[in-house]
Structure 1
């Protein structure tokens, strides 16, 4: 029987890789993003088994109304088996110069978005009696504060890990597992922007920052979105049905805990 998953922030980067990996493993995927055109393009390009039709939807993850509408619609029409809260943003600035407006934006998407979407998904699963799975995208920056120029991002990702544990504890009685993945230095459009920002802040070059990231990673390469996607696929699989409340490090050894 085909299972259905909703993925947020899946119009590019890690989210797109998660969508593609799960589609390859016979999931029916609902690609969501605040950029509806990007979500539609990703959904159209996904591999599909016979009878499986991938879909897309516009979703502002910080809107409870948007999240509830998507979760209930998917539950009623397709059955909601899993939800991946992946949408995220980042800005780089020194702590002393960080504007509160940027902090608010970061928290709205990275933390409030996980809360809002997780609540909507869990309510839909409980209503339908589905013992589903939720996976949140955190970061190795959610396990250590030693990350320059990203104080608001660090705070948001620490929050995601704590929220994941709280959700797992309360939703366990409904048979719903909740875990998060903690990527490291991932080659995505978001990281490309960060390379430029960090180079300016450090008085270096993007290539210099990239080389530093590789030196910090024992496996000696930058992480690919597919590395994260395969870990998400595991946490959504039957092999992980007795794992909940975990923050899985997927970073090539760049941070070990």
Structure 2
């Protein structure tokens, strides 16, 4: 019997890789993104040997009504077996210069969005009797504060780790597992922007910043989106059904706890 997973922020980067790997593992994937064109392009390119019919839909993760509509629609039509809250943003600014507008936007998408979508998904799962799985994208920045120029991002990702544990505790009685992944230096469009920002802030070049990140990673390379996606695939699988409330580090050893 086919299973269905909704992935947010799946129009590019880590979310796209998660959708791709999930499809390869015979999941029906609902690709969501605030950019509908990007989501549609990803869904169209997913493997579908079993003819499951992957879908794409627009989703602003900060909109509770839209999140509930997506979760309820999928739960009623296809069965909502898993929800992957991946959408996120970042800005690199010294702490003293972080604007409240940027802080609010970071928290709205990275933390409130995880809360809104997690609540919508869990309500749909409980209503339809699904013992489902929720996975959130946190970060190694959610386990430490030693991350320069990303204070608002650090705060949001610490929040995701704590929220994941709270969700896991309360949803366990419904048979719903909740975990998060904590990636490191992942080669994505977001990282490309961060390389440029950090180089400017440090007065150096993006190549030198990239090498610094590689030097900070014991496995000796930048992380690829697929490294995260394979870990998420495990957390979505039956092999992980007795794992809940965990913040699983997948960062090549760049941060160990």
Do they superpose with TM above 0.5?
A: yes
What's the CA shift for 1:51?
Answer: 2.7
In structure 2, the residue matched to 1:232 is 232
In structure 1, the residue matched to 2:208 is 208
Give the Cα separation in 2 of the matches to 1:204 and 1:242.
46
Structure 2 gaps of 5+ residues are: none
In structure 1, the residue matched to 2:47 is 47
The count of aligned residue pairs is: 257
Give the Cα separation in 2 of the matches to 1:27 and 1:50.
10
RMSD: 0.4
Give the Cα separation in 2 of the matches to 1:28 and 1:116.
22
Give the Cα separation in 2 of the matches to 1:36 and 1:221.
32
Structure 1 gaps of 5+ residues are: none
In structure 2, the residue matched to 1:103 is 103
Give the Cα separation in 2 of the matches to 1:238 and 1:26.
13
What's the CA shift for 1:98?
Answer: 0.6
Cα distance per residue 1:125-175 (max 9 Å; x no partner): 000000000000000000000000000000000000000000000000000
In structure 1, the residue matched to 2:124 is 124
What's the CA shift for 1:50?
Answer: 2.4
In structure 1, the residue matched to 2:133 is 133
**Is residue 92 from structure 1 mapped to residue 92 from structure 2 by the alignment?**
yes
In structure 1, the residue matched to 2:177 is 177
4+ long deviations beyond 3 Å: none
Give the Cα separation in 2 of the matches to 1:121 and 1:83.
7
Give the Cα separation in 1 of the matches to 2:53 and 2:238.
23
Give the Cα separation in 1 of the matches to 2:170 and 2:63.
22
Give the Cα separation in 1 of the matches to 2:198 and 2:65.
36
Give the Cα separation in 2 of the matches to 1:45 and 1:6.
16
What's the CA shift for 1:49?
Answer: 2.3
Give the Cα separation in 1 of the matches to 2:172 and 2:206.
44
**Is residue 20 from structure 1 mapped to residue 32 from structure 2 by the alignment?**
no
Give the Cα separation in 2 of the matches to 1:144 and 1:50.
43
Give the Cα separation in 1 of the matches to 2:197 and 2:123.
39
Q: What is the TM-score when the length of structure 2 is the normalising length?
A: 1.00
Cα distance per residue 1:68-121 (max 9 Å; x no partner): 000000011100000000000000100001101000000000000000000000
SS in 2 for 1:147: coil
Q: What is the TM-score when the length of structure 1 is the normalising length?
A: 1.00
Give the Cα separation in 2 of the matches to 1:158 and 1:203.
28
In structure 1, the residue matched to 2:64 is 64
